[in-house]
Amino acid sequence: MSDTQFDQNAWLARIGYSGPVTPTLETLNRLIFAHSHSIAYETLDIMLGLPPKLDVPSLQHKMIAGKRGGYCFEQNMLFRAGLWSLGYRITSLQGRVVRGLAIDAPRPAIHMLLKVELPEGIYLADVGFGNLAPTCALLLAPQIEQETPHEVMRFIDVGGELTLQALLNRGWQHIYRVIPYPRYDGEYEITNWYTATHPDAPYQGNIIVAKPGPNRSRITMYNARVTVRDAEGHAEKRWLATEIEFRDVLRGEFGLNMSDQQIDECVAVMKAKGTGDAPHPFFA
């Protein structure tokens, strides 16, 4: 990636960040917090028949200039471009999502992650998991309980793969297993195409949006259900009924720059293809 492809100033302005830009752990934590609170996790373009593009100009056009969100590949590739522009040393990784499943479930690698090398150690950065993405960098070491701006998190070793867990009201909930080997961007392209186009993936028929909220809360939208969960895991839920409510939530609470027509089309697709209020383990 050439320096001319990525507009660092536009990215920092988009996430409302005006702090130090030296490539330190403190800066990384501030950038993760700012990015995740400003750019929502969302998969709505897939509902509109538009599989995500992962090149840097497309990511900037959509998520920075267009003021939209994105899912894991989009979020972490944009964030990686930003970190590279600041001088961070990064290795691209993948993870096996086990949220709501057995911790050793034989899962494919469908999630993108970033490993950041710092003087303090090796850290994980991830702004693209949605309702449980860590809101600060996490030391990639097992059996250390780590405070974040939201949940307490830790890694445990499962067959050589560090498994991220979050402490919620039902105890430790596992999220994904980190594959410790570097990945090429071509592997993300293949996985992105699969997750965006396969008929059994949840994204084509379901409205899925998530964003960290104030006071350590998280807000998640799965079809008509909007859930606000506190850091201990207690959840308040409400259900949307009209297109106007969908527009207000997507544009207001999640900050998505979408037209009435786009939102109404997503609602129509949801009604035709979605799983309704059936829980999905990744977006519980």
What confidence score (pLDDT) does residue 230 get?
84
The reply to whether 111 belongs to the active site is yes
Of 7, 35, 37, 72, which is the active-site residue?
Answer: 72
Vertex 82: Cα angle to 81 and 87 (nearest 5):
95
Of 126, 136, 150, 266, which is the active-site residue?
Answer: 126
The reply to whether 126 belongs to the active site is yes
The reply to whether 72 belongs to the active site is yes
What confidence score (pLDDT) does residue 130 get?
85
What confidence score (pLDDT) does residue 58 get?
97
Of 7, 35, 45, 111, which is the active-site residue?
Answer: 111
pLDDT in tens, the chain (284 residues): 444 589 999 999 999 999 999 999 999 999 999 999 999 999 999 999 999 999 999 999 999 999 999 999 999 999 999 999 999 999 999 999 999 889 999 999 999 999 999 999 999 999 999 889 999 999 999 999 999 999 999 999 999 999 999 998 878 999 999 999 999 999 999 999 999 999 888 999 999 999 999 899 999 999 999 999 987 778 899 999 999 999 999 999 999 999 999 999 999 999 999 998 776 666 65
First to last CA, the chain: 36
Query: What CA dihedral angle connects 62, 249, 194 and 166, to 10 degrees?
Result: 110
